[in-house]
Chains A and B, each alone.
Chain A
Amino acid sequence: MSNTDNNTLEEKQFSYKANEVVNTTDSDDNEKTMEQLRDLLFHEELSRIGNLEQQLNNLNISPETIAKVLAEAVRVRSEDNDDLANALSSTIENSVKSSVARNPQALSDALFPVMGPAIRKSINNAIESMLQSLNQTLEYGFSMQGLRWRFDAFRTKKSFAEIVLLNTLVYRVEQVFLIHKESGVLLHHCSFDNVKNEDADVVSGMLTAVQDFIKDSFSENSDQNVETLRLGNLEIIIQQSPDLVLALVNRGNAPRALYSSAVETLEGLQQQYFDALKSFNGDTSVFESTGPVLDQLMVVDYGSSGKKASLLKPILAVSFVFIAIFGWIAYDIYEENDSKARWNAYIDQLNVQPGIIIARHQVIDGIHTLTGLRDPLSVDPISLLAQHGLDDNDVSLLLQPYSAGQQDFILTRIKKLIQPPESVQLSFENSVLYLVGTAEPRWVEMAQYRAAFVDGVSSVDVSGINSLFERIKAALNPPATVTLTLTAESKVVAIGEATESWARDAAHNILQFTEVSDYNQQELVLVDSPEYLLQQAKELLTPPSEVKLSVTAEKILTAAGTAQEAWINEAHNKVKSITHLQGYDDSKLEAYKAAAVIPVDNDALILKRAIAYLVPPATTELTFAKGTLRSQGNASERWIRRALNNATKVEGVSKYDSDVKPLTDAQILAEAIKLLQPPASVTLTYKTGILSATGSATKDWINKAENEFVGVDSIHSFYTTNLTHPE
């Protein structure tokens, strides 16, 4: 019944509009697009491996063997020189080119994750608040249209506001970006709800980058520019002038007229701001005055209602009567005709399908025209025709694609988008997507990122994911002193300190993970290895040169030679603190006889050695006595640190006592002045590593100073750009 009121004036207007803009193409090759999307996102890895594998196959070498070393080989080779990278990059470029040429849409889909969030964030909020206010204002409104939509809402169990919005919105320009073409800097931005898009400047840069990327990648003719990008439900119209880019983000299908008004606006702006654009230096305040002009592009077309509702009111009142009468007659005619009943049954069946809304049914010259919305994931309406004895030659479908809010649709959409491996279960509840199972961190990151774009998903919960890395950690059970990393090339690296037995077990346990290409624990310090124990013992006991320490395979420390009684006793106590040491054998150690002469190094000699090794600055004084090296005065922080690390490495120095203060800025400046001897016409200033000179000086002095300033340890940069010279 609701579909019989099809001949009112108002209906005609709307259906005319709808015919003009509704897009009937039914893009159901999402699967293919996803393939290409993956291809694009991981093209580097895929095509590198693909190409090399192919070559390897030709050489009759098993790709499996090579795959293990491939990533590493590529890295090592490109560290050496760029040959391999150059060779690879042309292949990669070609593969991008051909992939993009096959399906340009895939490219914008691939870029969507980068640009999408910023654009969508603001738009989603806007839609939500709009739905809410529609619900309020229309809930109690009375009109024929309203009644019918209410009935539709009741029948299709969709929210009333959703029906209204989707029925009425033909297109709407939601955001306008005015961009400086060369730099991608955002000059001005407006949005239809006046909500400030915090990321507009970043989006603006991305828009130009994307354009350039597309142009570089597949446009043979470099004058040819991309005019439209599609991102999910959004369409971005892009127009360019010599210095400007204008981007309109809109929902729905904009009429061609919008393109021409964009071009006109742009040409006007280019002319009006010609000088400002030529001398643009990043200051955008001049362009605030473009607001009113850009606002004029923020057009919206709500089809037959919305803006035009007030004009239509009188007509509505009349047509109410008309419909009542006509509807009655029409109903009679329907009853007479069995085919009409079949059509009604067909439409009723369509309307109870999730993801299909038939908003109107018209018969024009015997062709049944169904207008409405359809989620690409819903059942194909044509396939249901036969059940009702209807012929697909009699039907014309004008179904605008849209995303239905049903849970299982959302889930299907997500699955297509993120391609979960079998080991991951998805569930969706209260607009939260839960991922549970095991998966690679890389995949999880990608999935988390992309799923967040699906309409209806407010957040993605991956706390239930056990990544490969976590499984590895669980299997190897590293002590707190070991850090495990899983690199992008699936190599596992263990760094830190561990026992030999842990390292042995780890090397064994890692073998169960076939996904791991390589396991490296060379950097691991084996805290119970004889070498390490020996090193520890040496550090702890500081044996005199006449004592030789060694550690046996059984981890027994032996000391042999001669030493002072005190040292022998001390050593005996100290070794107990070395964990992992199984025993201490000092039976081959002899104490000095009372008469024995202890050879000593000459103090002056040791000091000389220390000065040569540590190279103290003039402001620092070193002294040496009783095995202790002492430093006093001022030095750069770097020198202080170096001395602390190295002083005891000097032979004969057993203790280092540092009493050096870091140089103050004033001291560093004084040192610089002393070194560089600036003429009176030059002022030097110093701050945080940077020495700056202002005033005027001869070229000779500047050159000399620029070469010599490194002599002051603390200064890493010297600015002479503010200096003038007389010549």
Chain B
Amino acid sequence: MIQKKICILGAAGVGKTSLTARFVFSKFSDKYLSTMGVKIDRKQVEASGQVVNMMLWDIHGEEYKKIPTSYLRGASGIVTVIDGTRPNTVNVAHKILQRVNEELGTLPNIFLINKSDLEDDWNISDAMIQTLRDSGAPVYLTSAKSGDNVESSFLQLAEMLLNP
């Protein structure tokens, strides 16, 4: 079996835990329980005809405490989460990725701009999305609440991991 470590990164409260829970357990909760340290979950998927065990490391938001390098080490892929209602979380995402690049080198990455169900509060311009795209990583608008694009984006990452 193939096992891949994937780190879910991003500012606090952007929905890392919610996205993981949606993907692994098909569940969503309105409650915000801030993650401390790391929580690991697993989901088996099929990609390129192979079974892959995605080990999902849901890590605390960078603001609370610098993410220890040891949490990042050994990762095969990154999910960078942004909150579509808070433009500042784009900057946090850029900063985190820069650190990941410095410490681990470039890894397959996808950007999830989350909370797409909150249309009225949406606050991310197309130009911002374009700068994310410019980094070469795919960008998805997701909603952990409705489940929109969550599964397909994680599957896309699995594909990227198997066909580097």
Contact = CB atoms under 8 A, between A and B. Distances in A.
A285 B32 CA distance: 39
Contacts of B66: 89
B36 interface: yes
Contact of B71 (A209, A485, A688, A690): A209
Contacts of B139: 716-717
Interface string B1-20: 11111000000100000000
A92 B66 CA distance: 11
B65 A205 contact: no
Nearest to B138: A717
B55 A184 contact: yes
B30 interface: yes
A689 B148 CA distance: 13
B64 interface: yes
Contact of B68 (A213, A445, A716, A719): A213
B45 interface: no
Given A185-B3, A717-B139, A690 B156 contact: yes
Given A488-B33, A717-B138, A216 B68 contact: yes
Interface string B131-157: 001000011110000000000100010
Contacts of B41: 202
Nearest to A645: B119
A285 B4 CA distance: 13
B21 interface: no
A73 interface: no
A216 B3 contact: no
Interface in B85-113: 86, 88
B48 interface: no
A336 interface: no
A295 interface: no
Contact of A690 (B1, B31, B138): B138
Q: Tell me whether chain A's interface is mostly helix, strand or loop, or mixed.
A: helix
B76 A282 contact: yes
A184 B32 contact: no
B63 A85 contact: yes
B2 A282 contact: yes
Interface in A435-462: 441-442, 445
B26 interface: no
A654 B93 CA distance: 44
Contacts of B68: 212-213, 216
Q: Tell me whether chain B's interface is mostly helix, strand or loop, or mixed.
A: mixed
Given A79-B88, A89-B64, A487 B2 contact: no
Contact of A44 (B34, B71, B73, B141): B34
A183 B73 contact: yes
Contact of A209 (B37, B52, B75, B88): B37
Interface string B21-43: 00000000011111011111110
A112 B4 CA distance: 25
Interface size class of B (residues with CB under 8 A): 35 or more
B39 A114 contact: yes
Interface in A254-296: 281-285
Contacts of B39: 114
B5 A285 contact: no
A216 B5 contact: no
Contacts of B86: 79
A180 B36 contact: no
Given A185-B55, A282-B4, A716-B140, A180 B65 contact: no
Contact of A205 (B12, B57, B140, B156): B57
Contacts of A82: 63
B125 interface: no
A11 interface: no
Contacts of A282: 2-5, 52, 76
Interface in A148-183: 180-183
A39 interface: no
B34 to A, nearest CB: 7
Given A85-B63, A716-B139, A283 B75 contact: no
Contacts of A212: 68, 70-71
A235 B55 CA distance: 25
A205 B55 contact: yes
Nearest to A186: B3
Given A282-B2, A488-B32, A488-B33, A92 B53 contact: no
Given A82-B63, A93-B65, A283 B40 contact: no
15 contacts: A44-B34, A44-B36, A78-B63, A79-B86, A79-B88, A114-B37, A181-B74, A185-B4, A185-B74, A201-B42, A201-B55, A209-B71, A212-B68, A213-B68, A282-B5
When A and B form their complex, which 6 residue pairs have the shortest distance between CB atoms, in order from nearest? A183-B74, A182-B74, A212-B70, A717-B138, A205-B40, A85-B63
